Structure formats: C-alpha cells, structure tokens
Structure 1
Amino acid sequence: LQWEAVTDAKSYVLIMEDPDSKPITPFVHWVAWNIPAGTTSLPEGLQEQMRLTDPAGLLQGATSRGSVGYYGPRPPVGDPPHHYHFQLFALDTVLTVAPGSDRDKVLQAMKGSVLAKGELIGTYQQALAPPK
C-alpha cells in the first residue's frame, strides 16, 4: 500500500475490513496504528506481531479472528466477490492505545484527531478451495 504524506500528520491508522462477511459484519482483517508520519507505504509481509520495529512504532491490533496483524482475504468458496475496504486515516496525534487492541478501541481513541482519510476498495472471490 502506498499513499501521499498529509501535511501536519503525526501518525496514520490503517483499517482493513470486509463488510460482506457473515456472520461477523464487518470482518476486521487488519488494524494498524501509530504508523509514523514519515511513512508513505507499507511493504508486503509485515510480521504478525503487536509492535513492529520497521516501521518503528507501528502497532497492530486484533482481527475479528482474534489474531494480530494482517489476515488476508478468505471469503467462503462460492460466495460472490467480497469487498475489502482499506481505510487510511491521517491523525494530528500519536495514539496511546495498547498493542493488540481491537478496531473499536482504535476508532474511539482517534475521534477528533482525523486530518484526512482515504479509502481503497478491492474485491476478491474464491472459486476453488485453497490447497491445504
């Protein structure tokens, strides 16, 4: 993921969710916050841990599955395409939310601090079951 820097941002928050998921709607696939203001992209393969050293300071929270870090798209085989919303928020602060927190705690903590927001929506569908 890449984005343009936002003037006066102190940090970024990234939330990825699937509103087409059932029975959990939306299904949270990723919550990351305190992404440093100087960061304008995230590489593939970030570690699935609460606190990252690269980029330094980035914290990750719980998915709807209960894991920490990025949990990729896995719609049920045969479902119509699911829509995956990647929401990036530029904040005028660094959050004091504990590592491993869920999306709702992060959203609550960032209220009143959002300078800008961007969203990318991708779709994915599984025609065949993934190999085991």
Structure 2
Amino acid sequence: MHPFLSASLILSTADLGIDAGEFRLSSRDIADGGTLPQAQVFNGFGCDGDNVSPQLSWSGAPAGTRSFAITVYDPDAPTGSGWWHWTVVNLPSNTTSLPTGAGSPGGLLPEGAVQGRTDYGQSGFGGAAPPPGDKPHRYQFTVWALKVDSLPLDENASGAMVGFMLNANVLAKATLTATYGR
C-alpha cells in the first residue's frame, strides 16, 4: 500500500484536533464481528448470493461535516491491493442512513450521490466472493464524514481514486467489519 494512504488510514480525529464524539456505524442487516449473510454475497465468481447492499445507519458525526461517503473494502483479497466492493460519495450531510438495497440496481440513494466503480468493473454494490478454501475475509463497511460538500468523482472512479480523495477530506470515520469465507 502507498505510504501516504497507509499513514492516513490510521489518522484519528484526535490527531486532526477534531472532537468527533461517538461517530458510530450500525446495520440491521450485518453485525460487527459477525458473518455476512447470503444477502451480501456476490452473485457470480462461483457464488450464488443476493448481492444486495446492507442497511446502514450512522450517528455522532463531527461538527463541520458537509457530506458523507460509504466504502466497503476487503483487505484480505489475494490481489496485493485488496478489493473494493462499494464506494458511494456525495451523500448530503443530513443523510444518516441508507436502506437495504440502496447500492443495488434500482436502489434508493439520495439525489447527487455517486457510486464509483468496484473491482468487479461496475458501479454499485458488489458482495463478498472470496476464493474457495481461503480463510474468511474481512469486509470493512466504513462511513466517512467529510469536510467538503462533494467530491469531483463519477461512476468510473476507481476505489483507489475514491480512497485517495476520502483520505484528503476526512473529518472522521466509523467502521464495522464482518467476515465471509467459503
């Protein structure tokens, strides 16, 4: 991983001089530390999941938050650079949740929200699909509180580009992690 991104990923809000309080992420569909259900498993790559983005809710964003972003990342993918399963940016600052299926085709995202390209090669949510026999992979669902109203990204933005822009504009982030193996 690039040293700038690695250092940025461990930067806390306290390091930035920001009082983020209790910025939290939760879900009715997935449990932090639990196993992903079939609903959040990819339909392809040898998997027969439903490929539906989970419901997500967040609270306690720091003062000055002007927009939010969501990422889903698998750091255990055997690629040398992990795997981006979902990126959505430009969620308005008054957004505090996304319903189940918001990142799926026909899903309900707030106006102006943009889903970037996953490592499956398309925009929108792409569920878990670790190689058979691999140890269970971690899937990190992260909400990012940002200091800008929007990021200049479109549906062709790669996970790396989205990650770079998020790290350059983050006020706080909250993550829940679930696992999946086959």
> What number of residue pairs does the alignment pair up?
124
Task: List runs of 5+ in structure 1 lacking aligned partners.
Answer: 127-132
Q: 1: CA distance between counterparts of 2:110 and 2:75?
A: 28
Deviates more, 1:34-43 or 1:72-81: 72-81
2:105 is equivalent to residue 40 of structure 1: no
Q: 2: CA distance between counterparts of 1:95 and 1:83?
A: 28
Task: List runs of 5+ in structure 2 lacking aligned partners.
Answer: 1-55
Query: 2:115 — aligned with what?
Result: 60
1:85 Cα offset (Å): 0.8
Q: 1: CA distance between counterparts of 2:121 and 2:98?
A: 22
What amino acid sits opposite 2:122 in the alignment?
S
1:47 Cα offset (Å): 4.7
2:165 is equivalent to residue 102 of structure 1: no
What amino acid sits opposite 1:31 in the alignment?
T
Query: 1:130 — aligned with what?
Result: none
Query: 2:75 — aligned with what?
Result: 19
Q: When the two structures are superposed, what TM-score results if normalisation uses the length of structure 2?
A: 0.61
Query: 1:121 — aligned with what?
Result: 177
Q: When the two structures are superposed, what TM-score results if normalisation uses the length of structure 1?
A: 0.82
1:90 Cα offset (Å): 0.2
Could you say if the C-alpha distance between residues 48 and 34 of structure 1 is closer, same or farther in structure 2, counting changes exceeding 3 Å?
same
**Greater percentage in strand:** 1
SS at structure 2 position matched to 1:104: helix
SS at structure 2 position matched to 1:109: helix
Q: Tell me the alpha carbon deviations over residues 67-112 of structure 1, each in whole angstroms, 9 at most, x when there is no partner.
A: 1110011112222211001122101112332312112222333444
